[in-house]
Chain A
């Protein structure tokens, strides 16, 4: 059967959709993760903490599905990317999973018992549940930019090299830590702008704004540092020779070599791609301004644009490479060599075009029902709150 969209176009569409899902996750679940990462600092008393938790209590579950869907969609559309990254970052994935498992349990169980120690312990568990994923996801992106030590044999079985301490400590280098901190700052800003938008006006909101301002400044500085590192830090990979954009998905068909500064080549080739890093800075500045003048919706929108720009920058810098290998020139994963089959990409696009708008519609409806700020005094009267 002849499919109405050609293979190359579908691969580019699915590369974009992978970006949409990751950005959707970072914006939507990012505010919930960021809110928890600010929890012990922004909120001091038990009541304040309950109020902050209740800014995300009704929506975090839906938000987390962005991650689950992201995982599922990468599995379906980019099986090599799913297989190599999830197993290559094995212990890091376990760390993220443990943190993410703590989070829902913390939400649900924290306020079910009155004890001070019980609640305080859960507050720290919630902090871990927000902070650790934010850090590890950033470190993982850093490792993707830096390249990972894996190779594929002719059966396309993956071998991992340099398994220093099970591969966990090997993930941390100055550059990847920089990426991790950028991610933490980005999600803290996302969380702080969310809290200032959703919590009643007063001291608690003012504290969220103060932390948000610091986070916005940190995002701007760290993101700029990241750019400098890409230019002068000796990082970068590029594809050698021509590769059929509609050929079979076999990573061994392409050759990718290390070349310092190569991550910035795309901006020369396609100048419009500069829009991504520009949005990163503009978004963070808009968030900063919005926080300063207490225009909460603008602060949150600005922060979300920043997320879009920063993650988008990583994507366009690397295109068409998705995950480069540092040990084997013929193992790197490319948009042209790591996708699912033509048919699967086509079917999954159809499913996504039908269901993603429906998801967005009912999500919008739920946010409309839940519209309004959380009031601390409502905690005493409204039995539904955590």
Chain B
């Protein structure tokens, strides 16, 4: 494999995936917030809630379009740039993607048109059901994508088949109920809800600061405060870490993001600060909180958290076993009836991917010497400093969001939010933060999986298509130009829609009674009458 091809393919995947995930989380969360707002409209029948729903719906629509458009790239990119990966794991990995289309994407995409164009063609309850179907579809969509992604982190329910040279499904239920996938799903959709809540909170704060469309802004802020508090708690409490005790690579990921080089006696401490040193394999200037890491990651007081260097040693043994598996597969290719080779394969098959790690250095892993095996074992360490800092960035923002929404919830409940100007400014400043945390989360998850495309099964460098460097540059430049232009247009339209506000544009019934009355104050359904 040409490493330049691999690196460029990775760069393109990272760019397009991170870009895609700017839009997806807002879609995930805003769709459910629309359901909440529209439910209040259906229950109270107050026009202002319809206006609120349609206003945020317009912003939802502008954002949804780019999520869909850039999602297409993601679906195609496995085949275009990762064709060996597609062949190697398509038997398992393709299924959740196909089910996603069938069960989830059809649902959201078929109903989203009606959500925008069906206001006058449907009853109130009918339209609410349509909005709910869109929300359900987007969230189910995330479920199936994360089942696929979870399998890459923890490839359960599948075995290598030498006759077809690929992984094949052995237990589909295990793929569905993969604990890593479940943890990821809850964590990821909660993050999406936080992003949407901060977006609504921040934009409402802009209106309140300017004294514009106050009754729409106050009510939106109330929804955002409650929804945001629940989701920001969920995203941190139900974080991803519960899955980190499961596999060697997940353990490595945990050790790397903690920059924990050596196994610590249970329960391990959590590092608050430190500077990971790659040369000495030591973390300088550590500040540690005792016990906490062990509690979070093993949910126990007596199980140790394994350190990086001990995991490398395990990897070395698995590479040796992987070479034996590779040898058996080569013999089976020549003669599928070779019983000795079959037995050797069965004994070592779970390590076949570790054997492939050597292919980065030698065409035939059987020719590798001890030094090379040691080198390949060191490759199983992901980029520790990046992991360490990205995790801290993500976690810090996560806690900051809980604080922000707790504050918002208290102020809204006391009906003081709209007059507390420092708080409103804080809300505006907070808008980009959860996006930053979500992108950091993906960097952590995917960089932490390296050097694997599928943990223990297929190294990333083997998965790439044998394209030319020129071809990939053409598409990287092309996507950058296309996506860049679209980003500028999208942000322009969002800003324009926010500036015109919920009434100046096309969907407002001009001057709701509520908007005209200066005596109105906050609360979900307006004041007691």
Contact = CB atoms under 8 A, between A and B. Distances in A.
A326 interface: no
B507 interface: yes
A382 interface: yes
B111 A359 contact: no
B68 interface: yes
B172 A73 contact: no
B80 interface: yes
Interface in A235-287: 248-250
Contacts of A154: 165, 333
Given A64-B109, A100-B69, A158 B166 contact: no
B86 A82 contact: yes
Interface in A91-105: 91, 93-94, 97-98, 100-101, 103-105
Given A97-B72, A101-B73, A347-B172, A87 B83 contact: yes
A68 interface: yes
A371 B101 CA distance: 25
B169 A65 contact: no
Given A351-B102, A355-B102, A362 B164 contact: no
Interface in A59-85: 59-62, 64-65, 67-69, 71-77, 79-80, 82-85
Given A65-B110, A94-B80, A108 B101 contact: no
B102 A359 contact: yes
A109 interface: yes
Contacts of B107: 359, 362
A43 to B, nearest CB: 19
Interface residues of A, number: 75
Contact of A344 (B70, B121, B169): B169
Interface in A151-174: 154-160, 163, 166-167
A77 B120 contact: no
Interface string B76-104: 10111101101100111111011111110
Interface stretch (B177-185, B262-270, B468-476): B468-476
Interface stretch (B59-67, B244-252, B339-347): B59-67
B117 interface: yes
A109 B475 contact: no
A385 B237 CA distance: 43
A98 B109 contact: no
A72 B97 contact: yes
Interface in B40-77: 61-62, 65-66, 68-73, 75-76
Contact of B489 (A67, A77, A109): A109
A250 B163 contact: yes
A75 B90 contact: yes
B213 interface: no
A57 B109 contact: no
A69 B172 CA distance: 20
A44 B507 CA distance: 28
A232 B260 CA distance: 70
B239 to A, nearest CB: 29
A157 B466 contact: yes
A285 B365 CA distance: 62
A254 B161 CA distance: 18
Nearest to A385: B117
B80 A384 contact: no
Contacts of A359: 102, 106-107, 110
A336 to B, nearest CB: 12
Interface class of chain B by DSSP: helix
A69 B75 CA distance: 10
Interface string B461-493: 000011110110011001000100010010001
Nearest to B85: A83
Interface in A107-155: 107-109, 112-113, 154-155
Contacts of A76: 90-91, 94-95, 97-98
A69 to B, nearest CB: 4
A250 B164 contact: yes
A105 B169 contact: no
Interface class of chain A by DSSP: helix
A103 B61 CA distance: 15
Contacts of B71: 68
B355 to A, nearest CB: 12
A15 B278 CA distance: 52
Given A69-B98, A72-B97, A340-B94, A79 B87 contact: yes
Contact of A86 (B80, B122, B170): B80
Contacts of A366: 110-111, 113-114
B13 to A, nearest CB: 14
A84 B80 CA distance: 8
Nearest to B113: A58
B83 A91 contact: no
B475 A369 contact: no
Contact of A82 (B94, B109, B116, B170): B94
Given A75-B97, A76-B98, A57 B478 contact: no
B104 to A, nearest CB: 10
A217 B70 CA distance: 37
Nearest to B133: A362
B101 A79 contact: no
Interface string A26-56: 0000000000000000000000000000000
Nearest to B467: A90
A307 to B, nearest CB: 20
Given A65-B109, A75-B97, A366-B114, A94 B79 contact: no
A249 B166 CA distance: 10
Nearest to A383: B506
B65 A104 contact: yes
A76 B86 CA distance: 9
A363 interface: yes
B379 interface: no
A352 interface: yes
A198 to B, nearest CB: 13
B106 A341 contact: no
A210 interface: no
A160 B81 CA distance: 13
B112 interface: yes
Given A62-B113, A155-B165, A384-B117, A68 B72 contact: yes
Contact of B121 (A91, A109, A369): A369
B110 A72 contact: no
B79 A85 contact: yes
A87 B392 CA distance: 38
Interface of A: 57-62, 64-65, 67-69, 71-77, 79-80, 82-87, 90-91, 93-94, 97-98, 100-101, 103-105, 107-109, 112-113, 154-160, 163, 166-167, 248-250, 340-341, 343-344, 347-348, 351-352, 355-356, 359, 362-363, 366, 369-370, 382-385
28 contacts: A58-B118, A59-B110, A64-B68, A65-B105, A72-B100, A72-B102, A73-B94, A73-B98, A75-B93, A76-B98, A80-B87, A82-B79, A82-B86, A83-B79, A83-B83, A84-B83, A86-B78, A86-B80, A90-B465, A97-B73, A101-B482, A104-B68, A105-B69, A158-B87, A250-B165, A348-B99, A359-B107, A366-B113
Given A71-B75, A90-B465, 19 more contacts: A65-B105, A68-B72, A68-B75, A72-B100, A74-B94, A76-B98, A83-B86, A93-B76, A93-B79, A98-B478, A101-B70, A107-B65, A109-B489, A156-B166, A160-B466, A160-B467, A344-B91, A351-B102, A355-B99
